[in-house]
Amino acid sequence: MYRYFGELLSRGAGSALASGCVESALPASAALMRVRQYSEQPDDPNFFRMVEGFFDRGAAIVQDKLVEDLKSRETPEQKMKRVKGILRIIKPCNHVLSVSFPIKRDNGEWEVVEGYRAQHSQHRTPCKGGIRYSEEVSVDEVKALASLMTYKCAVVDVPFGGAKAGVKINVKNYSDNELEKITRRFTIELAKKGFIGPGIDVPAPDMSTGEREMSWI
């Protein structure tokens, strides 16, 4: 369903843009696309709310086609309920972990570091997604990026669910030794809660991380 949703959305958007008329390419029930779900929020919606809004618009475009192609003996009404239910299940982020842990700096001082890991979907496992180090990292950001990772994997049929992690630090303010401590401690916190493992959740490099941090993990 994930992959099919992505393929239909890609084809529908491409043909609509090519014709120069978006509305004419949509089924009648897709009029909901004109109503952005995040428009009820303030003029500056957060990142995850924006991702959810675009998901709602995409779901409105392909909903009728999904019902039409559903192979079952159910009535049209039952098929519509099934499709709506599946789309409702796909949308939210399944698991979000927020951790705080102490590290001892090279000068002997102690500091508390914040970190997050979001697993958007386990429809295929393991989950995959990068770990970024940035002072701008937030729960909202990792949830949004984990969601986008799910959809990207589904569209190209890569057999993984989407995830993303972030540690709220500026790497320029830490020595290599301190960064290693942070990376290893964050990994331990993920392991404690079952948020890392070859068959569960696989991390990858992202902003301010690379092969060095992966080797520490």
Strands in 95-104's sheet, in edge-to-edge order, are 95-104, 110-119, 161-167, 127-133, 201-205
56, 48, 61, 50: which is closest to 22 by C-alpha? 61
Distance CA 134, CA 171 (A): 7
The upper half-sphere exposure of residue 47, i.e. CA atoms within 13 Å in the direction of its Cβ, equals 13
Can 128 be counted among the known catalytic residues?
no
Residue 44, classed as helix, strand or coil, is: coil
Residue 213: which residues within 8 A CB-CB, separation 6 or more? 131, 179, 183, 205
DSSP string, 161-202: EEEEEEE---GGGS-HHHHHHHHHHHHHHHHHTT--BTTTEE
From 104, 164, 192, 193, the catalytic residue: 164
Collect contacts of 81-85 with beta carbons under 8 A, ≥24 apart: none
Stretch (H or E) spanning 28: none
Residue positions annotated with a catalytic role: 164
